[in-house]
Amino acid sequence: MSWSDPARRFEPAEDVQLRAELRDLLGLGPVMAPASASAAAPNAELTALAEDLRREAQRRSRTQRKRPTWGLLAAAALPLLAALAGLGSWGFQQKQRADGLAVQAQRQEQELTRLASTHATEVAQERQARQEVQQKLQLASKKGGRKTEPYLVIPVEKPLRAGAEDYQRVKQNPQ
> pLDDT digits over 84-132, tens only?
999 999 999 999 999 999 999 999 999 999 999 999 999 999 999 999 9
Other CB atoms within a 10 A radius of the CB of residue 138 amount to 15
End-to-end CA distance of the chain: 149
What's the CA gap between 89 and 110, in Å, rounded? 31
| Confidence at residue 34, expressed as pLDDT on a 0 to 100 scale | 47
Cα-based angle 76, 80, 81 (whole degrees, multiple of 5): 105
Q: What is the DSSP letter of 162?
A: -
Name the nearest CA neighbour of 49 among 17, 25, 16, 20.
Answer: 25
pLDDT at 14 over 80: yes
Global pTM? 0.35
Between 27 and 35, the more confident residue is 27
| Residues ≥6 apart with Cβ < 8 Å to 25 | 42, 46, 47, 49, 50, 53
Average pLDDT score over residue span 145-159: 65
Q: Is residue 153 a contact partner of residue 146, using CB atoms and an 8 Å limit?
A: yes
Between residues 29 and 12, the one the model is more confident about: 12
pLDDT value of position 37: 46
The pLDDT of residue 150 is above 70: no
* pLDDT tens string 33-92: 545 545 556 788 888 888 898 898 888 888 777 767 888 888 889 999 999 999 999 999
